[in-house]
Amino acid sequence: MLYIQHPGFLAKASILTGAILLSGCKIGGSGGGDDQPSEQRHYSATIERTTFGIPHITAKDLGGAGYGHGYAIAEDNLCVLADAFVTYSGQRSEYFGPDEAAATMGTFGTPTNLEADFFFRFLLNEQELTTFQAAQADDMLELTAGFAAGYSRYVSEVKDGEHAGRHTDCRNAEWLRTITTDDVLRRLVALNLAASSANWVEEIVAAQPPAANPARVRLMSPATDTSELTADRFALGRKTGIGSNTYAFGGNATESGGGLLFANPHWYLLGVDRFYQLHMNVPGKLNVSGASIMGTPMVLMGFNNDIAWAHTVSTARRFTLYQLQLAEGDPTSYVKDSEVVAMTPTEITIQVKQTDGNLSPVTRTLYRSEYGPMISLSGLGLPGWGTQVAYTLRDANLENTRAFQNFFSWGSADSLDEFYNNTKQYLGIPWVNTTAIGRGDQRALYSDITVVPNVPDSMLASCLVPTLGPAVMNAVPGLPLLDGTRSACDWKTDTDSVQSGTFGPSNLPSLFSTDYVANMNDSYWLSNPEQPLAGYAGIIGREDYEQSLRTRMGHTMVRDRLNGADGLNGHLASSENLRNIVLNSRVYSAERLKTAVLNVVCDAPGSADEEQACQVLANWDNTGNLDAVGAHIWTALWSRIRSLDLYAIPFDAADPINTPDGLSNDSAVRDQITAAFSEAVTDLVNRNIALNARVEQVQQYLKPGEQIPQFGGEGNEGYFTVLRNSYMHIVEFPNGEPVKAYTFLTHSQSTDPSSPHYADYTQAYSNKNWLPFPYTDEDIAANLESSIDISE
């Protein structure tokens, strides 16, 4: 189990469609159907591992590339993947019983096994898989089938007794099995839903008409307040602001005069939603490196010799709610446009392991409206499924079959224009912003051209459900509760929409800049503060609003670099200085407020401990670097005061990076700060945490047998360098030379403690030793640790 130990806590780390043929695109082809590649075919691949166990997979075709990837990732992460394939097939209760949490952490939260089984069997059903598979290009299916075959080959080797000493958590488990293409497709669809239906697992499973028997499966207990109706509750990973920093510099801002890209997702450190670093080379077709999310066969964020890209989680909503008016006397039918419409029932039976080890069937009927799955809001303190009204969810990404073709197409793009055109023509990216640069191109790209329900602001005046609709929007900005009685309130379709009911690219934000673009999980508005984007629908994101401290720190660091005010040489960005800047662990809240806060809390004599804390904070360098002394005191204090009305100067949309600012003169606020300081110091002392401790002494990655110091901190303090960094790359394209990249995978490649690559990359990250990535054949040979050829 991996934990992050932090002065404020010791907790599990939390924080991570339609087929289109693109003209001129090297990856893609006709859709599936009768010509889909067979599961029975020949595969071969060479897997060369370099420093930190990174696999470089070379194959003559995409099936072989997938084959090598599936084998390599199974070697590194077999038990996590095997457990996940049980989850996506809806079989957790069969092997583990009904009541335990289905995941330690991940994009679908922590439902029970039985809840997860019903959810995945309901939404990832055979019809959904058939539709999804039929929409994929042959190349994509070839890669996917190869991945399944490579993974299965490794499983078979383990079951035959090979790889002794490895994978002790699962090698003898009955649930360890080979997989098929369908298993991989289920994984892809599940990831597609990470920012939408995956946040409604309990509500979908609990949705039952009034006459239904609730004894068949655990129902959520009714709540008496709306405390769970929050932006966090229905954000990706159930945490707003999850998911990353990125910079893309254009030629006017770099020493080289070309593009420079930084990717920095803050993503899952545990579970199947972790990143996995790899390099796939199919000569003449694909030569891409970067990160997949475990179980996906392609690189999702990465670079080739001409293009590099990065992602952050977007603020756009991917779903809306609808209120249905039920037909009189029939709670499973509703009235729309004066016509009665029957819901579609689906009966699902789950085999459940009992305490005596025997299996017993549990059956439940779940329902769909024309919009999507029915949901129960009663667990959120809102009306449940009654005799007059009920609620349903429409998820744009349940209708999106293009997502992974879109990602896949980027891996072979050879110019920024091709990359951008693919983005618009597929329009399949499900829930992330994208930044990108291209060889020989002075522009940097920001894009939130993603799958978003087409609900323009003008539609809300007539379609938002009275009273309850505004309450939901107030609690969860950008989430409409719409009137389901009229087709006039169905999602709109633009003239350039790729998917019915979603916005077309002309109504989605994007920006090219020769200076820079950035995103730190606030909306598109300030991708470049000098070129604000505005005029888009509220469901995509907010404008003219206070930015997070992490966002303000991110833009401040760029401003300091371009002004030559950060203590480094020159005034332009380079790979070398950017590698320093993004790990410098500056703390924006301390830079703006520490001096004023110390003037308040240290003005009057306090206890000996408080006087020591004042001295330590006064000498602290306002960073969370490993040798910094005092960062933990500020963390303990800031966690207690950040929700106060702290600022003397309010937010000003005309100066959004510098405001709000200054410490309030309000005596009540200052008294609260003083009390919080005393409480923070007392708490640290009571927990035997030295007030003069260095960051390296109080903040570590804790893995079995490993305790690795961790720099950085929490984004709500204004750290740009956060504790949950995961995959990272800095990429440039030197003139006349191959791509030049530096990378990290902070949690390391393997989840198996017996692997030599369980913690080695984590230690390198702790030491701030970026890996010069070996992209060329010559560099791979110079850094080679092992090589195998596999075939079947």
Task: Give the pair of three-digit tokens for residue 680.
Answer: 């923070």
Burial class (CB in 10 A: 0-12, 13-18, 19+), 612: middle
CB atoms within 10 A of CB 229: 20
Q: What is the chain's alpha carbon radius of gyration, rounded to the nearest angstrom?
A: 26
The one catalytic residue among 93, 196, 244, 409: 244
Is 594:646 a contact under the CB 8 Å cutoff? no
Is 32:138 a contact under the CB 8 Å cutoff? yes
Peptide bond into 265 cis (omega under 30): no
Burial class (CB in 10 A: 0-12, 13-18, 19+), 168: exposed
Burial class (CB in 10 A: 0-12, 13-18, 19+), 16: buried
Is 43:791 a contact under the CB 8 Å cutoff? yes
Q: Is 589 a catalytic residue?
A: no
Between CA 97 and CA 260 the distance in angstroms is 50
* Sign, Cα dihedral of 677, 683, 685, 686: positive
Which of 308, 288, 284 is closest to 298 using CA atoms? Answer: 288
Between CA 715 and CA 173 the distance in angstroms is 40
- Residues 203-217, buried b or exposed e (16+ Cβ, 10 A)? bbbbbbbeebeeeeb
Angle CA(237)–CA(239)–CA(245) in degrees, nearest 5? 90
Between CA 172 and CA 562 the distance in angstroms is 57
Strand ranges inside 420-476, DSSP E: 432-438, 444-447
Between CA 690 and CA 258 the distance in angstroms is 47
In this structure, what are the phi and psi dihedrals at residue 496, rounded to the nearest 5 degrees? Answer: -110, 15
225 Cβ contact partners less than 8 Å away, ≥ 6 residues apart: 381
29 Cβ contact partners less than 8 Å away, ≥ 6 residues apart: 21, 137, 138, 139
DSSP, collapsed to helix, strand or coil, labels residue 718 as coil
Element (H, E) at 2: none
Is 93:362 a contact under the CB 8 Å cutoff? yes
Q: In sequence order, what DSSP letters do the residues of 245-302 get, joined into one string?
A: EEEEE-GGGBSSSS-EEEEE-B--SSSTTSEEEEEEEETTTEEEEEEEETT-SS-SEE
Catalytic residue numbers, as ranges: 244
